[in-house]
Amino acid sequence: MDYPFNLTGILYFPKVKNRYEFQRNKIQLYCNEVFVTDSVEGILPEFLSLLHGVIDSPDIPLNVSRSFLQSDQNVKKISTYITKKVAEKLEELFKKDREAYEKNWDDIRVFIEYGMMSDPKFYERAEKFFLFKDTDDKYYTIEEYKTLIKENQTDKNKALVYLYATDKDDQYTNIENAKAKGYNVLMMDGILDPHFISAYEQKEGEKGDDNRAMFARVDSNTIDKLIVKDDKETASGLDDKQKETVKAAFEKVIDKVKFNVEFSNEGAEAAPVEVTQNEWMRRMKEMEQMGGGPMSFYGSMPDSYTLMLNTNSPVITGLLDKDEAAQEATIRQIYDLALLSKNLLKGKDLSEFVKRNLEKL
């Protein structure tokens, strides 16, 4: 470009081979082919410092301090203009060949998410070419996805609920349960996704009540409670006294430090026991483990889960008719099965589960 200043350069998105392979200082700044610096923080927006490439401009002064570069008005104009050009180029690529853009999305997504979180102006531009990917590997723009889920995934408070998974295998059953309800499930397995999800919720909320958004991982609650559409609740198959009896029986078997027991009124055909993990607590923990900060104590807290007992399952209601030994054996089996379904049954407990079931053959 030659107006309002002269600039020649090439920037590219490096292919990231693993979740933590991000290298800064890979953009070299030149003035008339004379090297100036490769430390571009403050000269370029932080998220663009993750790109690789070369920039050459006669408008960049030579032999000056880095602090001068950061305060020089020409350099600031270059920073703003490059951000604009990157956004325009991405939008052009998206519009020109969406299929090719989608094929590259997994490689460039982390950079775009970082830019959207750190630069409000880039966020506004990127809304046109940011893509959500679902568990069936289909891609949607933000507006396309809102249209897709609006009818079926709006809760009683008129918030759009974005269901998501982070691991197709570990959360397979939850994903299938959601699909059976007609819900769509996004794949949000990127390193920045916990942070991006919170930023997206905040940005949508700032647009007004009609744009309220809420993310919920598919295993953060039972399927009927992920998207609550009214205040009606399925009748419970247990009264309060029976619930106390069943809860006490479970607490003799389970790890009470790691799990707390709650009840849900699902259909009789639903699983008798389901392991869930609170969305907000888990998300805070993931965010702090990645970045630390003033609330870093979340990152060091142990994982905690909820054991949801289905009061309408014949397996749960049938516990009341068993003697103590049979009751404990049944609870141990369904508890271990619930843990196994979440990949939480490990070590000695897994070995004993396998041995116990082989003896029944």
More confident residue, 206 or 3: 206
pLDDT of residue 62: 61
Verify cis geometry, omega within 30 degrees of 0, for the bond prior to 194.
no
More confident residue, 281 or 356: 356
Considering the entire predicted model, what is its pTM? 0.83
Beginning with the edge strand found earlier in the chain, give each strand of the sheet holding 8-12 in spatial order: 8-12, 52-56, 27-31, 34-37
Between the alpha carbon of residue 274 and those of residues 22, 117, 219, 243, 309, the distances in Å are 38, 34, 9, 16, 7
**Residue-by-residue DSSP string for 218-233:** TTSS-HHHHS--SS--
- Name, of 2-16, 129-143, 209-223, 282-296, the range with top average pLDDT: 129-143
What percentage of the chain reaches a pLDDT higher than 90? 51
Q: Which residues are paired to 274 by β-bridges? A: 308
Lowest mean pLDDT among 18-32, 95-109, 123-137, 290-304: 290-304
Domains of the chain: 8-105 (3.30.230.80), 131-226 (3.40.50.11260), 240-278+290-358 (1.20.120.790)
Per-residue pLDDT tens over the stretch 227-258: 998 878 788 999 999 999 999 999 999 988 88
pLDDT of residue 145: 97
Q: How confident is the model at residue 294 (pLDDT cuts 50, 70, 90)?
A: very low
Per-residue pLDDT tens over the stretch 29-83: 888 888 887 876 666 777 887 788 898 888 776 665 656 666 666 667 777 888 8
Helix, strand, coil percentages, rounded to 5, for the chain? 45, 15, 35
User: How many other CB atoms sit within 10 Å of the CB of residue 76?
Assistant: 14
**Average pLDDT for residues 193-221, to the nearest whole number?**
89
Q: What are phi and psi of 70, to 5 degrees?
A: -70, -25
208: left (phi over 0), alpha (psi -120 to 50) or beta: left
On the CB side of 162, CA atoms within 13 Å amount to 22
pLDDT of residue 231: 75
Query: What value does the CA radius of gyration of the chain take, rounded to a whole number of Å?
Result: 26
Distance (Å, whole) CA 116 – CA 106: 16
Pairing relationship of beta strands 259-264 and 131-133 according to DSSP bridges: unpaired
Q: What does the mean pLDDT of the chain come to? A: 86
Distance (Å, whole) CA 276 – CA 259: 10
pLDDT of residue 350: 93
Identify the DSSP state of 63.
S
Q: How many residues does the chain have?
A: 361
> What tokens does 317 get?
């209601």
**Average pLDDT for residues 252-271, to the nearest whole number?**
89
Per-residue pLDDT tens over the stretch 301-338: 667 899 999 999 999 999 999 999 999 999 999 999 99
**Average pLDDT for residues 84-105, to the nearest whole number?**
94
Per-residue pLDDT tens over the stretch 107-138: 889 889 999 998 898 999 999 999 999 999 99
Lowest mean pLDDT among 14-18, 96-100, 108-112, 113-117: 14-18
Would you call 193 helix, strand, or coil by DSSP? Answer: helix
pLDDT of residue 239: 94
pLDDT of residue 66: 59
Between the alpha carbon of residue 269 and those of residues 132, 177, 249, the distances in Å are 33, 12, 22
More confident residue, 70 or 92: 92
More confident residue, 187 or 76: 187
